[in-house]
Amino acid sequence: MIKILKTGTKKETTCDKCGALLSYDECEDVKEECIEKVFTTNMPSGHGRKQKYIICPQCKNKIVTWATR
């Protein structure tokens, strides 16, 4: 029986700008940023949406891998 000793974080994605197939590490290569600040009356301090992204090394395109709703 095969066991996972450590969960893998390597992922693959295709850059939609240049078409490069990229292999990235979810822990090491993904950057996080706030994409917008939402100000509402019941949350006066603001609550920012966040997204995670990688930068394509070939064309420097930002590829979003994860985002909050």
CA 22/CA 58 separation, integer angstroms: 10
CA angle 54, 57, 61 (to 5 degrees): 60
Site string for Zn ion, 1-40 (x = CB under 5 A): --------------x-xx-x--------------------
Q: How far is the CB of 19 from Zn ion (least distance, A)?
A: 7
User: What is the smallest separation between the CB atom of 62 and Zn ion, expressed in angstroms?
Assistant: 10
Judged by beta carbon, residue 20 or residue 30, the one nearer Zn ion is 20
E strand or H helix at 52, and its extent? strand 43-55
